[in-house]
Amino acid sequence: MKKLMKVLSVVLLGVFLTACGSKEKTTATGEKKVEKKVIKLSTKFVEEEQSAKTLHIVANKINERLEGKVEIQVFTGGQLPIGKDSMEQVVTGANWISVDGLNFLGDYVPDYNAIVGPMLYKTFDEYLAMTKSELVKKLNSDAEAKGIKVLSLDYLFGFRSMLTGKEIKVPADMKGLKIRVPNSQLYMLTLEAMGANPTPLPFTEVYSGIQQKVVDGLEGSLMSIYGTKIYEVRKQISLTNHLLGVSGIVISTKVWNTLTEEEKTIIQEEFDKGALYNTGETVKLEEEYRKQLEGYGVKFNEVDTEAFNTAIVDVFSKFPKWTPGIYDEITKELKKIREAKK
C-alpha cells in the first residue's frame, strides 16, 4: 500500500508540474497571449551552501535574459523531492530540473557511477577534463535516449571525507562505525570497503541522526559540513578524499524540446557560466571554511592514502551493470589528461 501511494503521489506531482508549463490564453480582445513556462529546480543543498547560492544566481540570470518567457524557480534544502524521486520527475516529463549526485543518473545509465568512482581524481581539473571526454559525451547521449537532457556535470562541491567522533588514519579505524551515506550502491560499497557500516539516511536527517545515535558520523564535503553546521555534533574530519562531490543538472528531454533555440542557448550558457563560478568559489571557500572550522574546534586529520587505495580496489568489479572494461577506459583517459598537464 505504501508503495502504491508513493507511485500515485509521484504521478500526481508530475501532472501538477506539467500543468505549470506555458499555455496560450485568449484576451478579451481575442488576442492570444502565451504565459511563461515555469520550471521548478530541486536540490538538496541548503541556502547557506555555495551550490545553492550559485543556482540562485544562475536562475536569476536565466529569468532576466528570457524576460518572463521562462521562469526557473529554485527550491533548496529538499523542499521538493530530491534524489531518486527528483529524477523520476525528470524522466516522466515534468517541468523540472534535478540537481543531485551522479549516482541518481547512474540508475538510468550505470556508467555514470563509474566516472565518479572512489579514489579516481587527484584534482578538480582532472574530473572537469573527464566530463569533456568522448567517453562522457557518449554517456550523455545514452541519457538523452532515456529522456534525460544533461545540462551540466560540472557542479563540484569538493572531495568527500569523514566526519566522525574519533580520528581515522587507516581503514581499520572505521570498523563498526555507522556512517551516513546517500542511498547509492556506489557509496555503500565504497564505505563498506573502507571498513565502515554504511547507513543510508536522507541528508536532511543527518544532524538529528547523529544526535539520536542513528549514525556515528557521515562522509561529505567540507562545503556541506560547514553549510549544514553538522560540525556542531562531530569534531573530527579525516581527509580520506575518497569520492569527489559532484552534482549533475538534468532536465526532461520532453521539456527541453518544447523550448525555442534561444531559450535553450540562454539556459545552457548560464548553467555553464555557473559551473565555472561555482568551482572558483568552492576552491576559495574550502580554504576559508577549514580555518573557520578549526576555530570551532574541529580537528583535521591526514590519513594513510595508500591503505585506503588498496582497500577500495575491488569496488569497481562489483557492478555487473557497468560496461565491461569501463575502469580501464577511465584510467586510460585519466592518463591522457595527466600527461597533457605536464
Render pLDDT for 70-81 as a digit per residue (tens, 0 to 9).
999 999 999 999
Structure confidence by residue, pLDDT tens digits, 5-57: 454 454 445 544 544 555 555 545 555 556 789 999 999 998 988 999 999 99
The span from the CA of 241 to the CA of 119, in Å, is: 7
Tens digit of each residue's pLDDT (9 = 90 or more) over 78-100? 999 999 999 999 999 999 999 99
Q: What local confidence, expressed as pLDDT, does residue 13 receive?
A: 54
On the question of pLDDT at 243 being above 80, the answer is: yes
Q: Both ends of the chain: CA-CA distance in Å?
A: 59
C-alpha closest to that of 97 among 334, 292, 280, 259: 259
Cell of 79: 523542499
Distance of alpha carbon 224 from alpha carbon 219, whole angstroms = 10
State phi, psi for 221 to the nearest 5 degrees.
Answer: -85, 160
Predicted local confidence at residue 21, as pLDDT: 55
* DSSP letters spanning 59-110: HHHHHHHHTTSEEEEEE-TTSS--HHHHHHHHHTT-SEEEEEEHHHHTTTST
Distance from C-alpha of 130 to C-alpha of 128, rounded to nearest angstrom: 5
Are 327 and 114 within 8 A, CB to CB? yes
Is there a contact between 47 and 76 (Cβ–Cβ < 8 Å)?
yes
| Sign of the CA dihedral with 46 first, then 51, 53, and 59 last | negative
Predicted confidence (pLDDT) at residue 242 exceeds the cutoff of 70: yes
* Proportion of the chain above pLDDT 90, given as a percent: 81
Number of other residues whose CB lies within 10 A of the CB of residue 24: 8
Q: Write down the pLDDT at residue 20.
A: 52
The residue written with cell numbers 575518497 in the block is 242
Give dist(CA 197, CA 204) in Å, integer: 20
How many Å separate Cα 141 from the centre of its chain?
19
Report d(CA 213, CA 216) in Å as an integer.
6
Task: Please answer whether residues 225 and 157 qualify as being in contact, where contact means their C-beta atoms are separated by less than 8 angstroms.
Answer: no
Q: Which of 32-41, 57-66, 113-122 has the lowest mean pLDDT?
A: 32-41
What digits encode the pLDDT tens for the residues 211-235? 999 999 999 999 889 988 999 999 9
Which pLDDT score, from 0 to 100, does residue 103 have? 87
Q: Choose among 234, 240, 217: nearest CA to 299.
A: 234
- How many other C-beta atoms lie within 10 A of the C-beta of residue 138? 13
pLDDT for res 34: 60
Task: Please tell me the predicted confidence (pLDDT) of residue 185.
Answer: 86
Q: What is the CA radius of gyration of the chain?
A: 21
The model's pLDDT over 101-114, given as tens digits with 9 standing for 90+, comes to 998 999 999 999 99
How high does pLDDT run on average in the chain? 90
258-274: pLDDT as tens digits: 999 999 999 999 999 99
User: Does the structure show a pLDDT above 90 at 137?
Assistant: yes
Each residue of 286-324: pLDDT tens digit? Answer: 999 999 999 999 999 999 999 999 999 889 999 999 999
Retrieve residue 2's grid coordinates. Answer: 505504501
Q: Quote the pLDDT of residue 68.
A: 86
For residue 155, the model assigns a pLDDT of 97
- What pLDDT does residue 296 have? 97
Is the pLDDT at 204 greater than 70, yes or no?
Answer: yes
Average pLDDT over residues 239-257: 97
Helix (H) or strand (E) holding 163: strand 148-164
Over 90: is that where the pLDDT of 149 sits?
A: yes
Q: Tell me the whole-structure pTM to 2 decimals.
A: 0.83
Instruction: With a cut of 60, say whether residue 145 has pLDDT above it.
Output: yes
